[in-house]
Structure 1
Amino acid sequence: MISYLVATLVLVAIATIAALALNLQWGLGGLVNFGLFGFYMLGAYVCGLLVVNGTPPLLAMAVAMLATAAVSAAVSLISVRLSEDYLAIVTLGFAECVRLFISYEEWLTRGTLGVPGIERPFSGWVPAAWSDGVFLVFSFACLLLSFLFLRKITRAPFGRLVRATRDDATVAEALGKNVLAVRAKVFAIGGALLGVAGSLHAFYYSYIDPTQFTTALNAYAFMAVIIAGRGSHIGILIAGFSVILLLEGSRFLVDVIPFLDGAQLAALRLFIVGAGLIAILIYKPDGLVREYRLRSGAH
């Protein structure tokens, strides 16, 4: 039971970091990224391949962050002038290109055979029995640092500029702001966070292959942002834990309702999550926590 709880909490931390990245890009910046899983996959593969070729895990993670940030910025420069719907399609197409490249370029990525033997950070410093616990602490430390970093930039002038370009890019441009540069930075920072999440995925499983990366990550992240309230990083922490813990905890319904088979239980779990999402949209349309706004002392 303890092992299952640790595994669930690690997944919560990884998924919440991905949701924080989407909250920056879509919630704060207004840039829809349906290719979330592609950047996540890219980060996992860059980190995993570097580690198995002798790079220290923490250095490999840093390189993965830089790589996903650079690629994210490049994609934004290509597509960010598109309207919201078309931008979503372009990012989804990019993610599919990443998946196909990794699946078929075996000379570089090992294709569908996957990448085994990915060493975790600090694995040589702690006993094997403590490995999962130490990695859980490391994952939550990454989540906390990601949250604090986003909270800092959200309350800084850059955060206000990002919201201004989301609310009315024309007005921001008229005031002399470089909207394209702002959006490229937003995509790059979000990409770096996805590089962190992808690296944690590679470390935790110690083996990666293309079948592990699906649009399910998109669904979790978008649900978390909608439930949290767009632009609210504190809300993301609450929603990220709630969504994943609900999905994982509902597995135990089979003990409460023993006459359900596997297919019925899976459908019931999705129904519960869907009903909860609809209820939040009806009763809390702005999400659980309102977006941070700078307020003056005047009344």
Structure 2
Amino acid sequence: MVIYFVFLTISAATYALFSLGLNLQWGVTGLINFGHVAFMAIGAYSTVLLSMQGVPIAIAVLVGICLSALLGLLIGMSTLRLREDYLGIVTIGVSELVRLAAKNEAWLTKGSFGVQGYPVPFNFQPDYPVRLGLIIWLTAICGLALWKLWLWMRGKTPRYIGGAIASAFVLTVCVCGALSLYTYDPRAGLMLLTLTTLTIVYIGMEKLVNSPWGRILKAIREDEEVPRALGKNVFWYKLQAFMLGGAIAGLSGAFYAWQFTVFPDNFEPLITFNAWIIVMLGGSGNNLGTIIGAIIFWGYNTITRDELFKMFFRTLGLDDTQQGAFRVMIIGLVLMLIMVLRPQGILGKKEELTLGR
């Protein structure tokens, strides 16, 4: 059970990291990207293929981030002057191009058989003092998360639901993670690395979004003619946001590869739309909301796979294949209700909403 929760934590943190890139592109800047998974695929393949050739993991991840940013540059240079709907069409086409290239260029990507047997970080057996240090490290991250949630919830009654869910998740992560680190399972080390990276990216994103640079991006989202009239290079700011969002998704690709497996069909458009669900559920333009949205999304995804729910689904006459489709249908229904009842998401601000503008 503890190891399974470690798996859930890594998955939720990886998707939160992936969705933070989309939140920067769409939630903050207003750029529609239906091919966000292409950046994750580039990051995942670059990391594992280079590390299999003896390149240090840290350098392999950095190369994956740079290649993902380069892909964002190539897409942005050719599309960011187009209307938003054209940008969405181009990005989903690029994501499918990347996936099909990975599937067919076996000389580079091993084709449909996928890449296996690559090194992963924290795959060692530390002694007791190192384990204790890792537990303290995890406790500090969880404490920082709880403090941030407490500051955010204070005096804001409507925020208690999302904050309570996230706080319960953080406390469970701290307990299960500490147990796994004490007995030491390599997946616990990967969990700690994922949470550390997510914390650093979140803090950096918060500083950027609330800086003058971030305020220009928000102005572009609302009406790009206003910053253009003030002498700002709108295209350049859009390009920066698109590249940075792609780089963050490329970073998440490394964790996706270490957590799951690297097969071309693991990078289908559904992964992008899962990120859209997370961003819209948590609140467009809100980084903390994106993280909470990832927790809720993966919590739902995990609970509905429990044997008790499977028995309930079977009483409805649904086989295993139909159960998967039914879970997706429920997510779609919940998303529709959110768009009607609270279109800004759990933590989003209605005055910043750009849907329907």
Distance 1:26 1:261 in 2: 37
1:106 aligns with 2:106: yes
Q: TM-score if structure 2 supplies the norm length?
A: 0.77
Deviations 1:25-58 (A, max 9, x none): 0111111111111111111001111110101112
What's the CA shift for 1:204?
A: 2.1
Distance 1:235 1:250 in 2: 22
Q: Residue 112 of structure 1 aligns to a residue in which SS?
A: helix
Distance 1:268 1:2 in 2: 28
2:216 aligns to what?
161
1:285 aligns with 2:333: no
Q: Are the aligned partners of 2:34 and 2:273 in contact in 1 as well (CA < 8 Å)?
A: no
Deviations 1:189-217 (A, max 9, x none): 10111111101111223x41212111121
Range with bigger deviation, 196-205 or 271-280: 271-280
1:297 aligns to what?
none
User: In structure 2, which of residues 258, 261, 271 is the aligned counterpart of residue 203 of structure 1?
Assistant: 258
Task: Work out the percentage of aligned pairs sharing the same amino acid.
Answer: 32
Q: Are the aligned partners of 2:47 and 2:60 in contact in 1 as well (CA < 8 Å)?
A: yes
1:188 aligns with 2:243: yes
Distance 2:125 2:80 in 1: 44
Q: Are the aligned partners of 2:35 and 2:93 in contact in 1 as well (CA < 8 Å)?
A: yes
User: In structure 2, which of residues 316, 320, 324 is the aligned counterpart of residue 266 of structure 1?
Assistant: 324
Q: Any residues of structure 2 matched to 1:210-289 within 5 Å, and which?
A: 210-252=264-306, 253-256=309-312, 259=315, 260-289=318-347
Q: TM-score if structure 1 supplies the norm length?
A: 0.91
Range with bigger deviation, 149-158 or 123-132: 123-132
- Give the unaligned 5+ runs of structure 2: 128-182, 353-357
Change in 2 beyond 3 A, CA 1:291/1:126: farther
What's the CA shift for 1:78?
A: 1.0
1:29 aligns to what?
29
Distance 1:195 1:148 in 2: 18
Q: Are the aligned partners of 1:118 and 1:202 in contact in 2 as well (CA < 8 Å)?
A: no
Q: Are the aligned partners of 1:58 and 1:121 in contact in 2 as well (CA < 8 Å)?
A: no
Distance 1:110 1:263 in 2: 28
Q: Are the aligned partners of 1:25 and 1:187 in contact in 2 as well (CA < 8 Å)?
A: yes
Q: Residue 304 of structure 2 aligns to a residue in which SS?
A: helix
Q: Are the aligned partners of 1:35 and 1:92 in contact in 2 as well (CA < 8 Å)?
A: yes
Deviations 1:159-196 (A, max 9, x none): 00101112111221121101111011101110111111
What's the CA shift for 1:17?
A: 1.0
Q: Any residues of structure 2 matched to 1:42-121 within 5 Å, and which?
A: 42-121=42-121
- Give the unaligned 5+ runs of structure 1: 295-299
User: In structure 2, which of residues 229, 232, 256 is the aligned counterpart of residue 177 of structure 1?
Assistant: 232
Distance 2:242 2:269 in 1: 19
Q: Are the aligned partners of 1:19 and 1:236 in contact in 2 as well (CA < 8 Å)?
A: yes
Q: Residue 251 of structure 1 aligns to a residue in which SS?
A: coil
The count of corresponding residues between Structure 1 and Structure 2 is 293
What's the CA shift for 1:219?
A: 1.6
Q: Are the aligned partners of 2:23 and 2:285 in contact in 1 as well (CA < 8 Å)?
A: yes
Change in 2 beyond 3 A, CA 1:26/1:121: same
Q: Residue 285 of structure 1 aligns to a residue in which SS?
A: coil
Deviations 1:51-70 (A, max 9, x none): 10101112211111111112
Q: Residue 340 of structure 2 aligns to a residue in which SS?
A: helix
Deviations 1:130-157 (A, max 9, x none): 1011111111111111211111101100
Distance 1:100 1:36 in 2: 15
